[in-house]
Amino acid sequence: MKAYSVKELLKGNHLLQEVAVNGWVKTFRSNRFIALNDGSTLTNIQCVVDFEKFDEKLLKKINTGAAIKVTGTLVESLGKGQNVEIQANEIKIHGEADPEEYPIQPKKHSLEFLREKAHLRVRTNTFAAVMRVRSALAFAIHKYFRENGFYYFHAPIITGSDAEGAGEMFRVTTLSDKNPKLTEEGEVDYKEDFFGKETNLTVSGQLEAEAYAMALGKVYTFGPTFRAENSNTSRHLAEFWMIEPEMAFYDLDANMDLAEDFIKSVIGYVLEHCQEDLQFLEKRLLDEEKTKPQAQRSDMALIEKLKFVSENSFKRVSYTEAIDILRNSKPNKKKKFQYPIDEWGADLQSEHERFLVEKHFKCPVILFDYPAKIKAFYMRLNEDGKTVRAMDILFPGIGEIVGGSQREERLDVLKQKMADLNIPEEELWWYLDLRKFGTAVHSGFGLGFERLVLFATGMGNIRDVIPFPRTPQNAEF
């Protein structure tokens, strides 16, 4: 007897055939109706049990969470809620789930409770839906880049350079934790370490991606990156996945065009392929927001919001224009901002970004041409000598989802910038080589994958959109 997935059976192609299906019991009502799910899709398949035909002992084992195999005839369903169901002829118990012990019972569990059970929470509808959408988004990303002439590039995870300065790093070592060998100067002798030098976990694959873009033209990374920062917020993880495209011969305008098209395309993909999960997540969000005051609820339901983003142009605003808008804004004049905006040059805080996106423009915003002083050394200096060709994409409810720039391609300007910031040239000799040999205008950006998943699923905490989150004091599983 061939076993099918629930998803396949629900299509109804095997009507009146004998079929088998494996899955986990979601509920077992009235000793008669098993709702069975195998993770292939959100909807359960109903298996109808004529309890007189089965051993009572067996029926007692059909509890929520038990793994079973049902064999029977696929028929049209007369009940509401499903088109087809299985008239069970045979039931095999793979594994029981003691209702006294199994924590994932058919009732509402808080997301906080489920976070402690990260190995089981994916058995709930919410997390299964989130993780299916996450998987679809990841595929959409690869598909988009492949169809647009990009090559997937694996940046190194363990890095010998800490020059980028994007954040605090984790050290990677095989030295003795207590008594590492010291040099004559009394410092740890990293020559004795596995790689013969001090190494860390990468904070970004960008610099290495630039090397590849300057040969293959258009490349992207999609891999884990790390920040050893003590940020316990709903938007930060110590370990997260990042997508970093890097393109030779792209200026900042082309970079912004790409980023916008890319985001719209991948959101469009999940709208097309994940309707069922999105509808479920939309309802979850509506239920959650009912408990909040009106002012904190979303203007749009989840799917409407995704459609809005995928179909409307992002607003492009220079940093200088944004400062003007913020300076003259009501919250600034009424001193409602925690960090009031006085002068050009100020770094924008989350409250400012939210005002621009959620109150002023009410759509995704691309800010560009930031002051050089608040941005990284590798960004291309504008002719004005004080701004750089940087851009950030800000999303409602999420904040910064993309950060990118045109890269400084001029060897002399880059060297000067590094000297100003005390970045030793020896650290980045190979990065300078890219400007020495066949340099050209090039650009790229980074997109935090989990922030995209947050946006697409309507979840509120970044710990709930990655299977096993790593945060300060937490590396369980």
Question: Of 356-364, 396-404, 414-422, 430-438, which part binds a copy of itself (CB under 8 A)?
Answer: 430-438
Place of tokens 């049902």: 70
Place of tokens 């009235």: 30
Residue 223 binds to a copy of itself (criterion: CB under 8 A): yes
**Phi, psi of 5, deg, nearest 5:** -80, 155
| 215 or 419: CB nearest a copy of itself | 215
Give the residue, chosen from 161, 265, 320, 350, that forms a contact with a copy of itself under the rule CB under 8 A: 161
Positions in 115-144 near a copy of itself (CB under 8 A): 118-120, 122-123, 127-128, 131-132, 134-135, 138-139, 142
Rounded to whole angstroms, the maximal C-alpha distance in the chain is: 85
Give the residue, chosen from 46, 206, 405, 439, that forms a contact with a copy of itself under the rule CB under 8 A: 439
Alpha-carbon distance of 264 to 379, in angstroms, equals 25
Binding mask 312-331 for a copy of itself (x = CB under 8 A): --------------------
| 62 or 88: CB nearest a copy of itself | 62
Binding mask 386-425 for a copy of itself (x = CB under 8 A): -----------------------x----------------
SS (H, E, C) 421-440: CCCCHHHHHHHHHHHHCCCC
**84 by DSSP, 3-state: which?**
strand
Residue 474 binds to a copy of itself (criterion: CB under 8 A): yes
Positions in 20-79 near a copy of itself (CB under 8 A): 22-25, 38-40, 65-67, 69
Alpha-carbon distance of 249 to 263, in angstroms, equals 21
**418 by DSSP, 3-state: which?**
helix
Total residues at interface with a copy of itself (CB under 8 A): 107
| Whole-Å CA distances, 396 to 10, 103, 237, 400, 454 | 36, 35, 20, 9, 11
Residue 268 binds to a copy of itself (criterion: CB under 8 A): no
Sort strands 84-95 and 45-48 into parallel, antiparallel or unpaired: parallel
Sign, Cα dihedral of 387, 392, 394, 400? negative
Give the residue, chosen from 276, 288, 324, 433, that forms a contact with a copy of itself under the rule CB under 8 A: 433
Positions in 167-186 near a copy of itself (CB under 8 A): 168, 170-175, 177-178, 180, 182
